[in-house]
Structure 1
Amino acid sequence: MTETLGGSGAAPAPAAPTPTRAAVFAWSLWDWGSAAFNAVVTTFVFTVYLTGDAFGNEDTVAAQLGWALSIAGFLIAVLAPVTGARSDSSGRRKFWLGVNTFIVVGLTFAMFFVQASPDYLLLGLFLVAAGNVFFELAGVSYNAMLAQVSTPRTIGKVSGFGWGMGYIGGIVLLLIVYFGFINPEVGLFGVTSENGLAVRVTMLISAAWFGLFALPVLLRVPEYRAPDAAKRAKVGFLRSYVDLGHDVARLWKTNRQVVYFLLASAIFRDGLAGVFTFGGVLASSAFGFSPGEVIIFAIAANVVAGIATITVGVLDDRLGAKPVIVTALIGLIVSGSLVFLLHDGGQIVFWTAGLALCLFVGPAQSASRTFLARIIPAGREGEVFGLYATTGRAASFLAPTAFALMVTIFGATYWGILGIMLVLFIGLLLLLPVKAKQNQMG
């Protein structure tokens, strides 16, 4: 099944040289390095540290973290499509990937200074929120580069390989920080947990990890050059929003299926984010995992997700992205429902059904990226992936709200699983009518 997009009157893009394996590998190492922010900062280490009782009432601090991330989400929604479009027209996609990546590296490094005291809570919240903003902006450029390092025949395999590298990078880094600093009473270099030092040193390692593995894509992948059809006159930043409005209107007229997919993917991707966001909470509060056991589960989950994502990337190229996404969403809903229905079975249920759920998360994320990459008009990758980030952020309240609502109504944390599954189910229903093969529209 081929996924293409026709545009009205667009000049054909010049034939690009076949990407080399070295370029693909260099590109994928950014995903590997980004696990430092995804897995360590936002999911399993720094945010867990920041919401601990050393910073105040845990429920209050968790709410404050939610508000900080909400503000970050709003800024991403406002900035992502315009910055993406400007990188398309300026031909400086790799430049902005580098700038935003190393801002994230600097912010992660600064987390070392967040001591275990309420006096440092505001600094910690600011660093996490700002890091999220610049990480998402870097991700817009990175995703847009997918077309530069793949061909129509290999885009699924390349995307799956990159996403899988991210999971594997997360495994390696979590193993290093867990056994080197978090778990021992006295870790490497005599580091202890006093005043949060183990976590703070972990942030230094994470910053160095991301910075190091971001270098290959910047050094080995050529800078993007906008095709003539995509070049525009330079305009001011505010004028870019006017141009964006015209672009979205044109997209609705000429390539409506892209808009439909952006809507559907915004919802099911928020469900996927909910799986990560609340997985650790569910493991600890509903299934009795200790903090150390949560990290061990996270390592195992990354192994399963990484292998599945790389493997399914090949099927993406053969079958098309939509069948992969639909199958993955169904698998997620079934696995998540089993976690809910069998919750009385204890940790063995979470280990089995939870790991089964991880089989489907990565393939759904990777295939969502390739579906969109295949149907974007040449020269508009940054703009449309900016909209991809924006729509995702616009729906980012759904899974947390559904989770909280179910827990509030029924009074037990495990009910929140159903809230996340509901979001995934709605996203699946909206995806089913979306056509993978686009027709040209005048």
Structure 2
Amino acid sequence: MASRELSSTRLSVASWVIYDMGSTLFFSGVVGLVFPLWVTDVMGGDDATVGYTLTASMLVVFFLSPVLGTLSDRLKRRMPFLLTLTIVGVISTLSIGTFQYPLSIALFCVAVSSVYLSGIFYNGLLADIATKNNVGFVGGIGVGVGYFGGILAVILGFFFLELKGHIFLFRTMAIFILLLSVPLIVTGKYKLDDSFKLPVKKILMHTFLVTFRAVSHTVDNKSWLWFLIARFWYLWAISAASFFAVLYGVNTVNLTEREVQLVLLVGIITGIPMGALWGRVVDRVGPLLILRANVAMWVFLLALAAAIPILDLAKELWWVVGLMSGSALAGLYVSERPYVLSIAPKNRVGEYFGIFNMAGRLAAIAGPFSWGFISVTLGLGQSAAIVCLAVCALFAFFTLTLVKGSGEEI
């Protein structure tokens, strides 16, 4: 049995929670705010540049995550992977803009892939610091505190984007990410089994067999299959909307960069209490109903976002989109995993979550690609791209009506 890499002390729990702030800072600040504006405002790029770059990053994650996950299981260690990927992500983010444009784009890809992959090992460490009785509570604290990383990202952007520029923000955010990672890096244990020999071929074969077996089992459970299809479609919509919200708000809704940042801040702040509120409702009525409600909310929000420029509605409605999206995103986070736990056989929970994550990664590839392809490659513009996302969310909602809860007949 593997030895713990983190103790269950308050210090370890605190260090684990603080690390999530750094990850949220990266995705909210570097990926969602600074990089899109730097590409389009400074470097002469467009939505396709941003979308295809994110797609390339997520392709790397899609292929490496099962291999690294299997390797971690064989080594019975997560901290060495977490440390390496965190450092690579920080250095890559620090270096964006230091070199020529193509190399900076490549560095951004490396940073996104590294930080995303580090999350695999970060989530796995929860088992070390929590028990069956408080795993939900500890995980909930991580999500709630993690939102403060998003708030920090917006505050940094608000005060320094116009004053100091994009490159300064890349470096400043990278430093903050490193500082927020230090407690967990210092607290963790890194000792490896010296007798371990790395059978690369066996690990790759084992990864393929486990994945194939999990996919084949999925086909046998129709409700589970419908859920995964729905998850692919609604995360397609939500991932692309999250990545391109800033550009859409500035370029199509005609808000200023400061206004967009304030709307983003409001959405993040809303998500903090709503996560706890949705959690209580999930405990009362079950996760599937809440999941359907929040996907329906995303259909409405994406349709409203598309209608603002198309129907020439008041741009102040973007505040409604920002406010409600914070609640809708928190509702998804709170309801998805409990649903999986409610239907997964106890001896196949890991298998279910593996396929669950695979559907999300595929969506993270398709979403940014579709936005860049529709808005730039096809020349249809951002409004057409967001209409496509609304249709994806609508398709997901109807697919969810075919999904059954744990107590219903499948």
The aligned runs of 1:291-370 (5 Å cut-off) are 291-341=257-307, 343=309, 344-370=312-338
Matched, 1:208 2:175: yes
2:87 to 71, 88, 102: 102
Return the alpha-carbon distance in structure 1 between the equivalents of residues 211 and 171 of structure 2: 41
Note the alpha carbon deviations across 1:176-226, whole angstroms, 9 max, x for none. Answer: 3421x2234xxxxxxx4xxxxx3222222211211121233344467899x
How many residues align? The count is 398
Amino acid at match of 2:90: V
Deviation of the 1:42 alpha carbon: 0.9
Report if the CA contact (8 A) 1:155-1:370 is conserved: no
Report if the CA contact (8 A) 1:78-1:390 is conserved: no
Report if the CA contact (8 A) 2:234-2:396 is conserved: yes
Amino acid at match of 1:307: P
Report if the CA contact (8 A) 2:307-2:313 is conserved: no
Return the alpha-carbon distance in structure 1 between the equivalents of residues 7 and 288 of structure 2: 25
Deviates more, 1:419-428 or 1:203-212: 419-428
Amino acid at match of 1:201: F
Report if the CA contact (8 A) 1:158-1:313 is conserved: no
Residue 31 of structure 2 corresponds to 42
2:200 to 214, 237, 253: 237
Amino acid at match of 1:46: F
Amino acid at match of 1:214: S
Deviation of the 1:291 alpha carbon: 1.8
Return the alpha-carbon distance in structure 2 between the equivalents of residues 43 and 33 of structure 1: 14
Deviates more, 1:273-282 or 1:156-165: 156-165
Residue 239 of structure 2 corresponds to 273
Return the alpha-carbon distance in structure 2 between the equivalents of residues 402 and 83 of structure 1: 28
The aligned runs of 1:13-412 (5 Å cut-off) are 22-52=11-41, 54-56=42-44, 58-59=45-46, 62-111=47-96, 113-114=98-99, 120-152=100-132, 154-179=134-159, 181-184=160-163, 192=164, 198-220=165-187, 236-252=199-215, 261-341=227-307, 343=309, 344-372=312-340, 375=344, 381=350, 387-400=355-368, 403=371, 411=380
TM-score w.r.t. the length of structure 1 is 0.76
Query: What is the SS of the residue equivalent to 1:345?
Result: coil
Q: Which structure 1 segments of 5+ residues have no match?
A: 1-10, 115-119, 185-191, 193-197, 226-232
Return the alpha-carbon distance in structure 1 between the equivalents of residues 186 and 345 of structure 2: 26
Deviation of the 1:387 alpha carbon: 4.9
TM-score w.r.t. the length of structure 2 is 0.82
Amino acid at match of 2:178: G
Give the RMSD, CA atoms, in angstroms.
Answer: 3.8
Percent of aligned pairs with the same amino acid: 21
Q: Which structure 2 segments of 5+ residues have no match?
A: none
Return the alpha-carbon distance in structure 2 between the equivalents of residues 268 and 314 of structure 1: 23
Report if the CA contact (8 A) 1:333-1:421 is conserved: yes
Return the alpha-carbon distance in structure 2 between the equivalents of residues 376 and 416 of structure 1: 39
Report if the CA contact (8 A) 1:268-1:424 is conserved: yes
Decide whether aligned partners of structure 1 residues 157 and 334 sit closer, same or farther in structure 2, where only a CA change above 3 A counts: farther
Deviation of the 1:81 alpha carbon: 1.0
Query: What is the SS of the residue equivalent to 2:364?
Result: coil
Deviation of the 1:349 alpha carbon: 0.9
